[in-house]
Structure 1
């Protein structure tokens, strides 16, 4: 089966101060919205999610083939960071590093690890997220290098979209060349998201369209450079960032790290 990979880039330019501004929230007007996502259920299909104090986890399951269903810890650190950007409440940082929709409920659908995600596991996670965990939105911050999704992935995403579920995927970090996107973001039913920097320019790494079938790609862009969000302790990304000295530690278990990538958008 096809393999998908989650890409992120450690950020070094965010390491100057513990008060690095959370510019990405004001850049999209997140704090001006009257709605904080309360009542919305977002499934994060990723590498698992750490039980960080910022995160309102309401359902958890592991879909990695050969692993226990209840082994949904995040050993990579990618899923935790993504979940915090989407819906962290910022409680561990005094509100400084909250997510864009802090009122949502998060669904942890672990479908991968350091070796990536397998298509069959992703599809199982999609189906469970909708049919059992009642997700309204599915976040997929991973991709492959094939601009046309497989029939199985296309069918799975079309099925949930027809039932009113919104599917969102990172565009990929293979830019700035044209035709540099991949599946599932290139799917016709999926909202593909590219990355911008603090100057509101497209990030140099952000993948471009169109897809090989000449569908529009990317659909939207959002901040994806030096984004500070919850850390999964002792994960592979955490170990790398701490080696660089880039972590932001608060009291208790609330620690944060900066990453860049369309996954962060």
Structure 2
């Protein structure tokens, strides 16, 4: 469904159709589109009495027309990163917007969703932490997700740096959903991701520490209590990163969320916003998605979700450690999405990392704490609540790479996003699948 397929559409079995080919670095025929995207074209024709949330991208230097300002989203609706605005408009006026010369294009504000010791040992993070002294100290990591817990022992500060929310390594918290000003995570996904990146393992005597246990975290909440949101909030979060990455020393942003691919990455406002972040010198790490098989259990291609379908994103699929700390028996997780990408036919993901049975932080005030109670895990210390939770998915794989990037940036702050991707791919091990 994330790719717009009807249930079971790809479940009939194998086919003999030949694949289309593209030219690297150039848009293919799928990148051509009109001012109005396909979804809004259909809504204008079939649902004229209803309203739609849209992203209006303006021509360079243009301002939002006065008559449209009444439709504009007031909080976090200004998407300067793509010279755009978020509006909620009647479908009946969409054709009028197309005729406005100040508007470059109009896109549907489509939905998004949220797509440990063993892991840290398997990928080599713990020897790097202990042997080389690289822990992510001094590196800021932005998490675009469902928020972050107000408190967890594993997020306490072991440095002399001061943080605004007490003894928690959270440098900033911005809520694009409800506008609250202090950290919280009503869903639980973001807290789990945060622990994979930067948990210090305090409640497990270090065994369940994350990859970069001294990194500073910036939490940008774009998903609600049910793990759902829209791409406009992600674009607004990207905009915030570009504006504040120097202030908070942000070198990498983790995006463990998934949006359907409705158009080429050359024209999608979400992927274009991700490019602005990369152009500012910040690495964008994204989850590949969990669409590796169809309803018939056969491999499914074209399942990479946005913004991971873009070449400037560092897109991460999932592997399984198969319960050991040795890499020799690691396998590709069968649920992990793979390319070629829908619309653009590019090779993805860029890397895989452990994403099966990943143990990380639990937030006792989140929905996950009750809906996934059977996956809660005790620590090594006495705590009032269960401090850990086991989850599976490419959402868990991406932060493994994000934490690794933080270690790389601590070791060599001059690294660029392209160099980071090149080094990781060049030094990665090849696995079948």
Output the TM-score relative to the length of structure 2.
0.55
- Displacement after TM superposition at 1:24 (Å): 1.1
Aligned match of 1:210: 340
Distance in 2, matches of 1:245 and 1:122, equals: 29
Using CA pairs under 8 Å that are at least 6 residues apart, name the structure with larger relative contact order, 1 or 2: 1
- Displacement after TM superposition at 1:120 (Å): 1.1
1:236 aligns with 2:367: yes
- Displacement after TM superposition at 1:192 (Å): 0.5
Deviation digits for residues 97-123 of structure 1 (CA, Å, limit 9, x no counterpart): 100111211111111111512111111
- Displacement after TM superposition at 1:92 (Å): 2.0
1:135 aligns with 2:250: yes
TM alignment of 1:97-176, pairs within 5 A: 97-113=208-224, 114-132=226-244, 133-146=248-261, 148-149=264-265, 151-176=268-293
Aligned match of 1:224: 355
Distance in 2, matches of 1:197 and 1:87, equals: 21
Deviation digits for residues 139-159 of structure 1 (CA, Å, limit 9, x no counterpart): 000112317445321221111
- Displacement after TM superposition at 1:174 (Å): 0.9
Distance in 2, matches of 1:90 and 1:202, equals: 27
Aligned match of 1:31: 126
Distance in 2, matches of 1:240 and 1:136, equals: 34
SS of the counterpart of 1:112? coil
1:77 aligns with 2:185: no
SS of the counterpart of 1:54? helix
Match of 1:41 among 140, 145, 149: 140
Off by >6 Å, runs of 4+ in structure 1: none
Distance in 2, matches of 1:4 and 1:207, equals: 16
Distance in 2, matches of 1:60 and 1:134, equals: 15
Match of 1:185 among 271, 286, 308: 308
Distance in 2, matches of 1:231 and 1:105, equals: 19
Distance in 1, matches of 2:252 and 2:137, equals: 13
Q: Extract unaligned runs of 5+ from structure 2.
A: 1-108, 156-168, 294-299, 323-329, 398-433
- Displacement after TM superposition at 1:245 (Å): 5.8
Distance in 2, matches of 1:195 and 1:154, equals: 21
Distance in 1, matches of 2:146 and 2:218, equals: 12
Deviation digits for residues 227-262 of structure 1 (CA, Å, limit 9, x no counterpart): 1101011311111222x2633254346700100000
Name the structure where helix makes up a greater proportion of residues: 2
Aligned match of 2:45: none
Q: Extract unaligned runs of 5+ from structure 1.
A: 8-20
Distance in 2, matches of 1:85 and 1:169, equals: 14
1:57 aligns with 2:148: no
SS of the counterpart of 2:372? helix
Deviation digits for residues 80-102 of structure 1 (CA, Å, limit 9, x no counterpart): 00010011111122111100111
Output the TM-score relative to the length of structure 1.
0.88
Task: Count matched residues.
Answer: 249
Deviation digits for residues 141-200 of structure 1 (CA, Å, limit 9, x no counterpart): 011231744532122111111111000001011113111111011112101101111131
Q: Which has the larger radius of gyration?
A: 2
